[in-house]
Each structure stands twice: as C-alpha cells, then as structure tokens.
Structure 1
Amino acid sequence: MQEELLGALGRYDSYGSGGEAPVGADAVLAGLDPEQRAVATALHGPVCVLAGAGTGKTRAITHRIAYGVRSGVYQPQQVLAVTFTARAAGEMRGRLRQLGAEGVQARTFHSAALRQLQYFWPRAVGGEVPRLLERKVQLVAEAAGRSGLRVQRTELRDLTAEIEWAKVTQIVPDDYPAAVLKTGRDAPRDPAEIARVYATYEQTKRDRGVIDFEDVLLLTAAILEDRPEIGAQVRAQYRHFTVDEYQDVSPLQQRLLDQWTGGGASLCVVGDASQTIYSFTGATPDFLLNFRHRHPEATVVKLVRDYRSTPQVVHLANGLLSQARGQAAQHRLELVSQREAGPEPVYVEYADEPTEAETTAQRIKELMAQGVRASEIAVLFRTNGQSEVYEQALADLGISYQLKGAERFFERPEVREAGVLLKGAARAGEDPLTADAPDLAAQVRAVLATRGFGANPPAGSGAVRERWESLAALVRLAEEFEAGRRAAGERADLAAYVAELDARAAAQHAPAVEGVTLASLHAAKGLEWDAVFLVGLTEGTLPIIYAKTDEQVEEERRLLYVGVTRARAHLSLSWALSRSPGGRASRKPTRFLDGLRPGSGAAGPRSRGGRGGVEAGADRSAARRARGPVKCRVCDRTLTEAVERKLRRCETCPSSMDEALFERLREWRARQAKQQGVPAYVVFTDATLMAIAEDVPAGERELAVISGVGAMKLDKYGAAVLSLCAGEDPWEDSAEEPAGEPVEESAAEPAEESDEPA
C-alpha cells in the first residue's frame, strides 16, 4: 500500500538541466547570506520566512529542503513543496535536482490535491472521479440563461470570477448576498441574481457529473476531514511542507493545508504581505500575518538583502511602502540593496497615450542599441487593454515582443511541430541529418532547419519573426541543457533533451523567448528584467477607478510596488495627460508618486524615492496637435471611443464609405501582410482602412491626419494607399507581387480584456 501511495501522490518527475551536486550537506549552505543560512538550517517547523522582493527566497527554501535531505533529517519522499504556479513548481524541481535533492515533490495546490483526489476517490466515494471542467465560462453562461438572466458576453468573465471568489472563500450560494454586504465587495450585478446563477451553476455541474478547479480543493479537503484513516495515510506520507507565496493563500487552500499537516507536520511558509495583489480572487495575507499567533513557537526569519535591484530602485520601492496604510503596511520590510549604484528612476510626462507609447518604444530601441537584450526589457501596465498601443509602437520600429498571458509557449504550433521532429530524430538514433553535428545544439539546429529555421532572424516583427524566436529559444535551451549535463559529467543527447522538453511542457516552464515583454502588473509577479517601463500611471488607472475602499486602494499601491521591484537597473515611470492627441489634459499622475517624484511635494527621509527629474515627453507633430477634440462629421458630437475617433463619426451615424475602395484596401493589406510575414493589423487596422475609404484622401497631407497613419506608415505605405484611392493598382509595376490568393488575417482592434492575471 505504501508503494501505491507513493505512486499516487506523485513520484519525483525527472526535471531540470542538471548541475554539479554538492559533495556533502554543508556544501549546500555555501554562498548563503546569514539570514538565508538561518532559513536553511531551521529544519524543524513551524518556520515563517518574511522575504522581501529580490531577497533570494527561492534560493533559501530550496537550500533548506536540500540541506534537510542531504543531512538525513528529511526523507525526500516525505517532503512536499507547494507553489502557486506550475512554472514556479518546475523551477523549484530543477533547483532541487541540482542540489542533489531528487525525489522531493514540488507542486501547485491544485496539482497535489488532484492527484490525491484521483487516488482516494474510489475508496472514499466509489466509481470514477468526475470529469474536470477546464473552462467554466460556457457553463456559467448556460446557468445564467437557465436563471432567466440576459448576460452580455463581457459580463460572463465577471460572473465567473464572482463564483470562483465565493468558492475559495467557502461561501455557498444562499450566503453570497450577505457576504457581499459584509465585505463591501463591489459585485458586478445584483447579488441576489449572482447567487441564483451560482446555485444553478452548481446544480448543472452535479447533473452532468463534472467538477471545477475549486471543487478539486473542496472535495480533497472534505475526504481528508470525513475519512480520518485517509487523512492519517496522507500525513504519514508527507511530514515536511513548504508553502511559497503564502500571502496569496485563500481560506480554502488554508483549509486543505490544515488537513495535510494535521497539526503535527513540519511546516515552513514564505511570503511578503507587501506583495499581496490577488485579494479580488480570495487571497488574503491574514494567514501570513497571523502565523505567529497560530504558532507561538515558530521561528521567524526576515530576508531584506535585495540582490535584484540597484539602490536607486530599492530606494523608490521603500518610499512607496513608507506611505502605505493598513495591517500589511505595519509588517513591511525595509529592503537593503546589495548591488552597485545604477541610474536614477526616470519620470516622464506625456501629452497623450500614443506619444507615450511611441516614445517608450524609441527608448527601448536605444537601450537595445546599448546592449540590453530585448528579453531583458518589459513594459508593464495596469490592465491588458492598454497593451495594443504598445504592440503597435514596437511593431512600427521592428522590435519583437511577447505578450505575457497570451498563447502558452509549448502550445504554439511551431513548438509542437518541433517537438514531434525532435522525438523522431531521437528515436532514429544516428539520424543522417544530425550525424555530422558536433554537439546537441547543432543537432537541434539541423532538425529545425528542415522546417526553414536559419541562423539569422528574419526582418520585421510579425508572425514569421515570432515563429523564428520560438525555435531559437529551443536552440538556446539545448545549449544550456548540454552545458548543465556536461558540468554534471553526464552525456547530453537528443533523447535526454526531448525528455527535458516533455518535463518542461508538463510544468509549463517555458524557455525565454527573445523579445520585449508586454504584461499587466498582475502577470509580472515573480518575474524580473534589467529594464522596466511602468506606463499609464494616472489616477483612475492606478489606482483603478473601481478601487473604492482604503484596503482596495492600498492593494493598488502594492501593485505598483510589485512593478517597481521587477526592475534590476533601468526604471522608467510615465503617464499621459490625455487619452488621444488634441484631447483635454485632464489626467493626473498617480497619487502613489506624491512626495517621491520631483515637484510633487516634500518626502520624508524614509519615503524618498528616485531622485531623477521629471522629463517632458516629446511633442507630436503640429498637424496632429492642431486636430483638437474629434467631432462626428455627421452629427457633430464629440467622439470618445477609439474606433469612432478613427472614423470621425458615430458608429450609428450613416457611412459615406466607398465600399469598393475598402475592399481594394483590404486586398492590398493582405498582400502586404503576407509578403512581410506580419499580422494584417500591423499594416493597418480595419478601422483605419474604413476611415481612409470614407475620406478618400487625395494627397499626403490629407492621409497624414487620419488616425492610425503615423509618419512611419506614411513613408512606407503612403504612395500605395494614395494610388488605390486614385483608382490605380499599386502592384501594377511591381515584380514582387505574391503568387496565389492572399489570405486575409483578422485586423479587428482587440477588445479590452480584464486585468485579471493569466
């Protein structure tokens, strides 16, 4: 039975690039600072590690586990490390392997619970485990319909989030309205209506024999509570627990953790209340802040030596928190940078959002020219809906980017295809393609070359470049994997590399793709870059407009703190006074920078942030500034929506668009996009083409004032567009017209997404 349980609860997955294992237990402690060493040697819980941003908390807890295993205090099969993301779990397994602690489990709460549920369900309940519902939105929509509610598509995400919040905070449908009132939560609809949808959703799941991710935790905890012999079996298996990011634990996760430990297991928790940014999902720092009360005998260690950021960045981060209020603020950690001095944070004020995006892209290009890699640069914003203008600005300058939270790396078509090819080559052994390749990376290049992968990146930044970057990441990973195996005295061949890819895919531990990262502040948690651009820092955006209570506003402050502490050296903070060119300059920079940025009032000695001056952003061209507020050409109403401003009319007002010209423009755009290997919207969006077809410009001056036609696009496409407007064929004299029918890609403007983390 013990062997079966070992298999059910998860044997160690072979993972990581390898590395030279320490000779003895004491070698694991080498290189740790005094506080990290205190964590590593505190092998008997309870232990609470309060770890500030960039202080090496993952290093401390992995060395603690490894030291326990190497010294014989821990049996590796009796250790479970719990993280909040599969990526973090994968990284932890890799580090533990390198430290010689193979056999230790590192999983997310859901992954560990699901394995236990699948193993114990036949004994505790009988039959097969209900099917897991991967996405609940469709079922929520059905439940809303069955409840007699008409729900817009954009509301479904909010309804789904409310149901998830209720479940992780252990609130049943009947109690939901009272819970909303008690917590002051801003419900997206009438709480009674949401409660009705919630109840119908739960009943629909039962009728269909399916469960969702929250049910996995609920059911596992219930089985351990109701069947003492099963709970005892789990607790006999796992004797040592480590929980990372403990400030983000929900009441439901804590309930399950209590069942796992049973009050007798050794428990180590790690967290930072100043990085609590997911309370809207049910996370709470209360369990971290009250850990000493629940465990009076606990060892508490504070990590404050910041190895990530320069003193200038740390200074600003400390200044932000010095102005914070509330329980979390009372437990803030004053970071101390361990790095050499770097550049001061830069504060930049722009006239409008397009200028902010275009200048940010230009600054990124300058950093890259100075030697900073694109993958070491990030643009961070409050909501996902802010990304489009930065995507366009980077694309205009030919800078590759990756959107955090978009398609997962291992689910990309080119990566899946590469995996199949590499597996085939590994099975073939001495494959003719790779027989002459001197090393693993060369073998991988040879295999990928059969699908057009070359040593040099293609021009541009569209789909073709993105595909190349994905394959290049696989080659770089092969180089790192081979170096690690060689250091461990092991051979690196294609078969071992393919196994590594499979393990990484299972853990969603993707290699770094060369490109500037665009991400929301929530999605940036746990990551770091050499250069970070924090953009859109205005009141109403940060703090977000629906942050009403003091605690909600403080969480917004913590969100900015997380953004600041992502930067190693270069940090830029910017805001725009208006949304569009010529608009009223009614916006104000975020209150969180008051007393920190120059010219915003005096700051106390503990709250002084970066000392860089506030720069004035570059002005747009005189032609654009002269536009002023955009009025509807039909009814003269002032326009506010992006698409309407481009069209210069209300969407409901009659259109004067030349339909034939619009179709010619779309056909021309499709050919351009295909020839350049970029998505169609990178050339022009549908809204811009519609505006051109309505105005039918006769010259460059008329074309230049159309929103979406910047100076670079005017130079690049102006002659062709004006030829089309004049009824001419811009391809007529070209020898490079693509053969075959063009395939039109979607060029609709992306809808604004919520700011929930992916």
Structure 2
Amino acid sequence: MTVIEHQAREVGVTSGLDPEQLEAVLAPRGPVCVLAGAGTGKTRTITRRIAHLVDSGQVNPEQVLAVTFTARAAAEMRERLESLGVAGPGNRIAAQTFHAAAMRQLRYFWPMAMGDMRWELLEHKFRMVGRVARELGLDVADRDLLRDLSSEIEWAKSSGIGPGQYPDAAQRSHRDLPTDPRTVSQVFAAYEAAKVAPNGDRLLDFEDMLTFTTTILRSDPSIAEEFRSRYRSFVVDEYQDVTPIQQDLLDAWLGGRDDLTVVGDANQTIYSFTGATPSYLLDFTRRYPDATLVRLQRDYRSTPEVVTLANAAIGRARGRIAGSRLKLVGQRPAGPEPVFAGYDDEISEVVGVVARIRSLIRSGVPASEIAVLYRVNAQSEAYEEALSEAGIDYQVRGAQSFFDRPEIVAGMRRLTSLAGGPPPPMPPVDAVRHGLHSVGLTEAEPAGANARARWQQLLRLMEIVEEIASQAPELDFAGLVSKLDERSRMRHAPVGGGVTLSSMHAAKGLEWDAVFLTGLHEGSMPLGRASKTTDDVEEERRLFYVGITRAREHLHLSWSLSRGEGRGAKRRRSRFIDALVPKAEVDFEPLPERTDPDPDVLAALTAWRKEFAEAEGISPVNVMSVTMIRSIATAVPTSIAELVKVRGFGADRADVIGAQVLDVVDAALPGRAAQQNRR
C-alpha cells in the first residue's frame, strides 16, 4: 500500500465519527474500555478501532482476535471489517464467538498437551443427564426436570462452580431449582464422571471447551508461547455478558499482557441467570488503572422522546450498576411522544395494540418495522390470533408460533386422542383441564424454569378453551376440542417481513421503527418470581430498559388490570411505569357518571357487536368487551370525543368503529339529536 493509499484509508476509517467514537478509535494500544449505550454505534466504533490499529501498523491483522457472544454478531463484525478493507482473503482478522475460538484452539493444541487421549464434542447435555438421573433413581419421564437439571449444570460450569460447591452457590444465588440442591449436585457429579471413558478419552461439553483450553494454556508454557506469538491484540464485544470461565479464558489468552479493548453497557446486563456478570466491565479500570475509558452516550437510533423515557426508566435503578449509568443523548430529530395505554383486561389490550398497529401500517410504517415485545413467550398467542384475524402477517422471533410449540402439540395430541373415545363424565372444560394434566398442566405452578415455561404455555391453551366455551356453551367435549383444532389451523403461517413478535430477551441487539411493550403489569414486569431480591428486580428493570431502547421512533407501552373479561381489576401496572406516565395520563378521564347502563343501549350494542363480529369473521370480544359495552351504555356518549374517554376504547378503535357505535346509541335513544362534532 502506498503512502497516499494509506492516508486515504486512514481518513476513511476516522471519517464520520463523533468526538467520543474518534477517541475510542484512536486510543493507543493497551487497555481500552468503551462504555457504549444503546444506539451509540458500538460496532461501528470497535471495527473502526481494529481497522485503525491495522492501518497504522500497530498490529498485524492476523494477530487480532475479536470475540462476541453470537454467531450473528460475529458475522456482522466480519462484514464491517471486510468493508473497511482489513479483513477477507489475504487479510484475515478472527472474529468469532468465545466457543468457536476455543474449539479451534482446542482442536489444534489438544494433541500437543494430551497426547493420544481423544475428545469429542457433546453438543447436548440432555441425553447424558437423563442417563445419570436414571441411575440415581430420578423420574426420567419428566423431561422438564431433565432440562432444568441440564440448565443448572450449565450455569454452575459457566460460573466456575463444581458439584461440591453447587448447593451453597445455588442458595446464595436464589436459583429457581427443579428439585433440592443436593440432588442437583449429585446429578452434576455423576454427569461429569460419565463423560470420562475407561481409557481416558473424554466427551467435552461447550463449557469444557473453554475450561480445557484455559488449562492447557496455563499448564504448558510452550503452547502458551505459540498462541501468544500468534494473537497479540484482543477485542471483546458485549463485555457485560462475560461469564467467569470466559474471563478465565481471556486472561489465559492475554497471559499478563494488556492489549485489550472491551465494549459493553452494564445497563444492558440481562443474562445473569446464565452466569453472566458485569463485574469485569465495572472493575476494568481498577484492574487496569492506566486504561483509556471512553463513554459513548450519543444515541443515533432513537428519537429524543424515546431516549428521555429510557433515561428516566434506568435512572431509578439501584445497586452497583446504577453507579456506572450512562445517560443517553438523543441525536435524531424530534418524534412522537411515547404512548401509555391501560386496559381493563388482556383481550382489550391485545385489541388496542393491534388497532394501533393497523393505524401505523396505514400511515406508511412497514409491518417489518413493527415489533410487539412481551416478557414470556406464552404471551405471544393472543397477538398471533389477533394479527391473523386482522390479516396482518407476523413472525415469531426466538420461538415457534404458539400452536407449533412442543408442549402445545403434545397437549393437542392428547385432547384429540381423548375426543375419539367415550364422552368424559365431567363438564367439557373440566375434561380438557384433566386431559392436559398428563402433559404438564398441574394445579400449582411448578418449580424449575423449563417446567414453569411449559406450564405457562399449557395454561394459555386452557384459557383459549375457556374462551371458546364461553362463546359456545352448547359444545360438548369433542366439539370443544374440534373448535380448538379449527382455531389452530386458522392461523396465518408466520412469514418473513411481517410484524415481529418477540420476548424482550430475544429482542436484545435488534431495533424497529415502532415497538409495543406489552403486559407491563406487576407479576409480568417484573416477573413474579423475579421479585424476591433487589438484584432480581434490578435485572428486570434493565430488561425493561432494553425493550424501550429497541424503538427508533414510535413507542407504545401497555398493561391490563385483569387477565380476562369480567374478572375484576386484580392487577396493578408495573412499578417501572408509575414514575414515567405523564400526570395527565395517569388515570382515564371519566365520563359523566350514571348509576346503571341504559338497558336499550346495552341491548342494541350487544346485538350490533355480534352482527359486526360475524360480518368481519372475528370474535365478538375482539370488537368490544362486555365491560366496554356496559361503560358506553352507562355514559351514553354523544360524540367521538366523549366515546374515546370510555376506558379501553381509545382513538384507534374509534377510528374503525366509532361512528357506527354512536349510530347504534342514537338509534337506541329515539329523539336524541345527532351531535355535529362526532366525526
């Protein structure tokens, strides 16, 4: 490369950067910590830093090892580096996940360190855990138990905890255990022993790859010397998510050197349950007192309105992470204010969200730029159904669509089998509940994360059954199961390019023009079982913050006060929202009070709702809830302005059916003059 070419590329590497990004890119070799808030251009910054180090001759491209946590993030990093001309054929910068890097190194160094001993990768723990659990006399037919045991072993190993240390560590960490900790410890010890063959050959799981690579580098100086002569400069993305054994491997890679750049945001620490800890990010400048520390706080993703809300949400955080809080500064032009919406029940919430989605699509927002986010995957079903009925394509991220999930498939198979036999000697809904008991729908919420997730999905299936039965009480058991099967087959197949349905965890690292954060009530956000300790609540707050910062322009936050129509307001909205809702929107503006609903208006609206639902091919409750009809019949609004004040009705619903509802009210009250301002 000529001097002129070098200068031109160096200008390209540093062009378009803000002052803080430029400081991070041009920082000298040595320890560098980049605290990068959501939307501040962290990938752009670290890839430009790597390019600068290469172009300035400070490091050979083949001596750089960049690690991150997902294959998708590693691929994006490689693409960025290739576009900068410092990666690709003849210029190889390694950008990999921790596990991919460890596997490559282990395959190369194992023969040197272990001689003739061989190893194979154990890609899944489940079968091995099942085998040792059977030998210990556990119920291996309980697949959720085996999954939870596998998860606990993975957490312990990622945290550097052995079988003997597990019981005390699990108690200190308030783990959601499937059984008593000593039983988990016994299974853990038996699992570790079962991986070693009599001749010494080994099966290694993904955690073993990291720990064995670390051990080899630390125990064999010649191997360590060979590795460290190859890799001299290290970059770690999402550093707030490293586990203890990943940090141990990084330390072994470095071997006392300090040519290390880390990038992270403690505010986005949401994977503590897997063993991840932000401690290494928070302690970086203590470990390296001479480190360059750069804060990226200019948010190029979201409008100032979204940024302000995100800052307010995380600003109430407590604990050590709060002390390192980044305060984002929005760089985009002003946009719409975030919308807060409370509903009487979950059905009304779903209908309101879908109505607003329809409105956004009509205004020109592509469906692919809209996301509905929720805390647990079981919450997706209602949105899958409502979007299907509205003719809006969708895709479920991070999970299968509801009726394709294994537990739902198993439940449907069980019910179909029972429906082919003699009628059960109990009411149809009770018969369905009894039938689902054998596939995991117990009376009480079970222990263990996997068992609980399965239970939540089956509980949602039971709620669908109860809804069908309430609309068609004449159905017998076989008819109820047939109607449920018909409902499952009516769904649109999820497609690429539609509205994204995703848990908040699965949405990490993504962004959309419009984001709907749903189910924001106590027990869901924060999750009920995550409210036992301050640390748990704070992790839920960070997850809420991650959800907010996925939105570029439109942000809609909603909650409901009851699970189902007519069940009474037993919930309260999330504590995370209480201080964020504008004062004017804390409560719904009430309409003039009446003692009872007008019986003529009530009857007319009920009849109209049924006719409208049949004409549209949707459920009557998706038009208006019974509670909403009673509220309208009590308030007897005379205009659109008054109608939208009815709790849960809202402007979006008024845009679709408001005029028709007022016409029905007028017709039920002869002699009342039509109001001129209703449209």
Gaps of 5+ in 1: 1-19, 409-460, 470-512, 600-610, 627-699, 716-758
Deviation at 1:215, TM superposition (A): 1.1
Q: What corresponds to 2:268 in structure 1? A: 275
Q: Kindly indicate whether residue 9 of structure 2 is the aligned counterpart of residue 24 of structure 1.
A: yes
Equivalent pair of 2:385/2:491 in contact (CA under 8 Å)? no
Tell me, in whole angstroms, the C-alpha distance in 1 between the residues paired with 2:171 and 2:533: 13
Describe the superposition over 1:484-507 as per-residue Cα deviations: whole angstroms up to 9, x where unpaired. Answer: xxxxxxxxxxxxxxxxxxxxxxxx
List, as ranges, runs of 4+ consecutive aligned residues in structure 1 with deviation greater than 4 Å: 461-467, 611-617, 708-711
Gaps of 5+ in 2: 402-487, 591-597, 621-679
Cα–Cα, structure 1 residues 94 and 591, in superposed 2: closer, same or farther, change >3 Å? Answer: same
Cα–Cα, structure 1 residues 101 and 714, in superposed 2: closer, same or farther, change >3 Å? Answer: same
Match of 1:233 among 197, 219, 226: 226
Q: What corresponds to 1:350 in structure 2? A: 343
Q: Give the counterpart letter for 1:46 in structure 2.
A: P
Cα–Cα, structure 1 residues 614 and 153, in superposed 2: closer, same or farther, change >3 Å? Answer: farther
Describe the superposition over 1:397-441 as per-residue Cα deviations: whole angstroms up to 9, x where unpaired. Answer: 121111111379xxxxxxxxxxxxxxxxxxxxxxxxxxxxxxxxx
Cα–Cα, structure 1 residues 374 and 245, in superposed 2: closer, same or farther, change >3 Å? Answer: same
Q: Kindly indicate whether residue 272 of structure 2 is the aligned counterpart of residue 289 of structure 1.
A: no
Q: What corresponds to 1:96 in structure 2? A: 81
SS in 1 for 2:529: coil
Q: What corresponds to 1:562 in structure 2? A: 546
Match of 1:187 among 165, 177, 180: 177
Equivalent pair of 2:384/2:491 in contact (CA under 8 Å)? no
Q: Kindly indicate whether residue 521 of structure 2 is the aligned counterpart of residue 538 of structure 1.
A: yes
Match of 1:36 among 10, 14, 21: 21
Matches within 5 A, 1:127-526: 127=116, 129-150=118-139, 152-207=142-197, 209-406=202-399, 513-526=496-509
Deviation at 1:704, TM superposition (A): 7.1
Tell me, in whole angstroms, the C-alpha distance in 1 between the residues paired with 2:368 and 2:162: 44
SS in 1 for 2:165: helix
The number of residues matched between the two structures is: 508
Tell me, in whole angstroms, the C-alpha distance in 2 between the residues paired with 1:549 and 1:100: 49
Q: What corresponds to 1:66 in structure 2? A: 51
SS in 1 for 2:52: helix
Deviation at 1:130, TM superposition (A): 2.3
SS in 2 for 1:24: helix
Equivalent pair of 1:52/1:272 in contact (CA under 8 Å)? yes
Tell me, in whole angstroms, the C-alpha distance in 2 between the residues paired with 1:465 and 1:543: 31
Describe the superposition over 1:699-746 as per-residue Cα deviations: whole angstroms up to 9, x where unpaired. Answer: x99x979xx99963469xxxxxxxxxxxxxxxxxxxxxxxxxxxxxxx
Deviation at 1:374, TM superposition (A): 1.4
The alignment-based identity, stated in percent, is 54
Tell me, in whole angstroms, the C-alpha distance in 2 between the residues paired with 1:186 and 1:406: 22
SS in 1 for 2:522: coil
Equivalent pair of 2:336/2:554 in contact (CA under 8 Å)? yes
Q: What corresponds to 2:436 in structure 1? A: none
SS in 2 for 1:72: coil
Q: What corresponds to 1:580 in structure 2? A: 564
Tell me, in whole angstroms, the C-alpha distance in 2 between the residues paired with 1:57 and 1:189: 42
Equivalent pair of 1:82/1:243 in contact (CA under 8 Å)? yes
Q: What corresponds to 2:511 in structure 1? A: 528
Cα–Cα, structure 1 residues 30 and 463, in superposed 2: closer, same or farther, change >3 Å? Answer: farther
Q: Name the stretch that deviates more: 20-29 or 200-209.
A: 20-29
Equivalent pair of 1:22/1:99 in contact (CA under 8 Å)? no
Tell me, in whole angstroms, the C-alpha distance in 1 between the residues paired with 2:190 and 2:7: 56
Deviation at 1:277, TM superposition (A): 0.5
Q: Kindly indicate whether residue 76 of structure 2 is the aligned counterpart of residue 117 of structure 1.
A: no
Structural RMSD (CA): 3.0
Deviation at 1:203, TM superposition (A): 2.0
SS in 1 for 2:40: coil
Normalization by structure 2: what TM-score? 0.71
Deviation at 1:180, TM superposition (A): 1.9
Equivalent pair of 1:313/1:345 in contact (CA under 8 Å)? yes
Deviation at 1:53, TM superposition (A): 0.6
Matches within 5 A, 1:595-634: 595-599=579-583
Q: Give the counterpart letter for 1:367 in structure 2.
A: L
Q: What corresponds to 1:17 in structure 2? A: none
Q: Give the counterpart letter for 2:17 in structure 1.
A: L
Equivalent pair of 2:388/2:492 in contact (CA under 8 Å)? no
Tell me, in whole angstroms, the C-alpha distance in 2 between the residues paired with 1:614 and 1:391: 29
Q: What corresponds to 1:670 in structure 2? A: none
Q: Give the counterpart letter for 2:526 in structure 1.
A: P
SS in 2 for 1:578: coil
SS in 2 for 1:582: coil
Cα–Cα, structure 1 residues 138 and 578, in superposed 2: closer, same or farther, change >3 Å? Answer: farther
Equivalent pair of 1:305/1:335 in contact (CA under 8 Å)? yes
Tell me, in whole angstroms, the C-alpha distance in 2 between the residues paired with 1:111 and 1:192: 33
Equivalent pair of 1:346/1:615 in contact (CA under 8 Å)? no
Equivalent pair of 1:349/1:616 in contact (CA under 8 Å)? no
Describe the superposition over 1:456-499 as per-residue Cα deviations: whole angstroms up to 9, x where unpaired. Answer: xxxxx9999768x5xxxxxxxxxxxxxxxxxxxxxxxxxxxxxx
Equivalent pair of 2:388/2:491 in contact (CA under 8 Å)? no
Cα–Cα, structure 1 residues 372 and 210, in superposed 2: closer, same or farther, change >3 Å? Answer: same
Deviation at 1:182, TM superposition (A): 3.2
Q: What corresponds to 2:96 in structure 1? A: 107
Deviation at 1:47, TM superposition (A): 0.3
Tell me, in whole angstroms, the C-alpha distance in 2 between the residues paired with 1:276 and 1:616: 38
SS in 1 for 2:528: coil
Tell me, in whole angstroms, the C-alpha distance in 2 between the residues paired with 1:614 and 1:572: 16
Q: Give the counterpart letter for 1:119 in structure 2.
A: Y
Tell me, in whole angstroms, the C-alpha distance in 2 between the residues paired with 1:180 and 1:21: 55
Equivalent pair of 1:50/1:270 in contact (CA under 8 Å)? yes
Equivalent pair of 1:81/1:105 in contact (CA under 8 Å)? yes
Tell me, in whole angstroms, the C-alpha distance in 2 between the residues paired with 1:24 and 1:94: 17
SS in 2 for 1:394: helix
Equivalent pair of 2:393/2:492 in contact (CA under 8 Å)? yes
Q: Kindly indicate whether residue 547 of structure 2 is the aligned counterpart of residue 552 of structure 1.
A: no
Deviation at 1:310, TM superposition (A): 0.6
Tell me, in whole angstroms, the C-alpha distance in 1 between the residues paired with 2:356 and 2:117: 57
Q: Give the counterpart letter for 1:361 in structure 2.
A: V
Cα–Cα, structure 1 residues 337 and 21, in superposed 2: closer, same or farther, change >3 Å? Answer: farther
Tell me, in whole angstroms, the C-alpha distance in 2 between the residues paired with 1:37 and 1:463: 54
Cα–Cα, structure 1 residues 290 and 616, in superposed 2: closer, same or farther, change >3 Å? Answer: farther
Q: Give the counterpart letter for 1:520 in structure 2.
A: S
Equivalent pair of 2:299/2:329 in contact (CA under 8 Å)? yes
Tell me, in whole angstroms, the C-alpha distance in 1 between the residues paired with 2:224 and 2:290: 25
Normalization by structure 1: what TM-score? 0.63
Cα–Cα, structure 1 residues 358 and 405, in superposed 2: closer, same or farther, change >3 Å? Answer: same
Cα–Cα, structure 1 residues 394 and 212, in superposed 2: closer, same or farther, change >3 Å? Answer: same
Q: Give the counterpart letter for 2:21 in structure 1.
A: Q
Deviation at 1:571, TM superposition (A): 0.2
Cα–Cα, structure 1 residues 298 and 201, in superposed 2: closer, same or farther, change >3 Å? Answer: same
Cα–Cα, structure 1 residues 179 and 88, in superposed 2: closer, same or farther, change >3 Å? Answer: same
Tell me, in whole angstroms, the C-alpha distance in 2 between the residues paired with 1:710 and 1:551: 51
